Amino acid sequence: MAGTPRVSDDHGVEAEDSGLKVTVSMITMNEEGAVAKVVTDIRRAAPDAEILLVDSSRDRTAEIAEGLGCRVIKQFPPQGYGPAMNRAVREAFGDVVVTLDCDDTYPVEVIPQLVKMIDEGWDLVNTTRVHRRPKAMPLANFIANRVFAIGARLLHGIRTTDVHSGMRAYRKSMIDAVQWNERGPALPVDMLLIPYRRGFKVVEIPIDYRERIGQTTLHRWSSTVATFRRLWNARKVDRALSPPGRREI
């Protein structure tokens, strides 16, 4: 389901062969109703991938995941989204780290496509849920995501429609080369903008976004404030000294 990529530049290394090791990373809190289905679907789409959970659940999420062969890092008491996601990508063993939410909202069948795009030379493949309004997303959330994307374009020049997507593929060596502030909400904003400002090769494709299994843990007000703060503060990140001539494709 490849769409027309929206964001790109010319940084990165083109791989000749596949053979990349893949980690699918998720952060979880009380997802026992969804985790078995999501893990089974991931196994079907990417049978050789490591599946890593950073888990802060009080229910049986970790037990179920370990029983299905996942590697589970317990983070309890919970420290928040940012520290959990930071561990999920930095402690992955793969050459490529694919992130997604453990609530069945993201189409795991596109994982091979994301990995292939990293293999072809991209450093970060962002997916957008909001290239059009998904039925599974309330109108207020859709409008907010579009406003955030406009802010990202005005402040950073990045042509994205979704700075908060939970499904991305990252080249692990790129993750190792960049730093962000893991504390506080809205870390995905930094995880997209900072690599872009540093000159890494970033691309975006549309996906279908589905109804979630379980209850949302989104705190809309604090997330909105944190998003605008991260959009503004990311301006402090120096752009690449020799920018590789970003092009829109």
- The structural domains of the chain, with segments of one domain joined by +, span 22-236
Kindly report the CATH number that applies to the domain delimited by 22-236: 3.90.550.10
Calpha distance 101→168 (Å, rounded): 10
From the number of C-beta atoms within 10 Å of its C-beta (0-12, 13-18, 19+), residue 7 rates as buried
**Whole-prediction pTM:** 0.88
| pLDDT tens across the length of the chain (249 residues) | 334 344 444 333 333 345 789 999 999 999 999 999 999 999 999 999 999 999 999 999 999 999 999 999 999 899 999 999 999 999 999 999 999 999 999 999 999 999 999 999 999 999 999 999 999 999 999 999 999 999 999 999 999 999 999 999 999 999 999 999 999 899 999 999 999 999 999 999 999 999 988 666 656 678 899 999 999 999 999 998 644 434 332
Cα 41 to Cα 47, 86, 156, 212, distances in angstroms: 9, 24, 36, 15
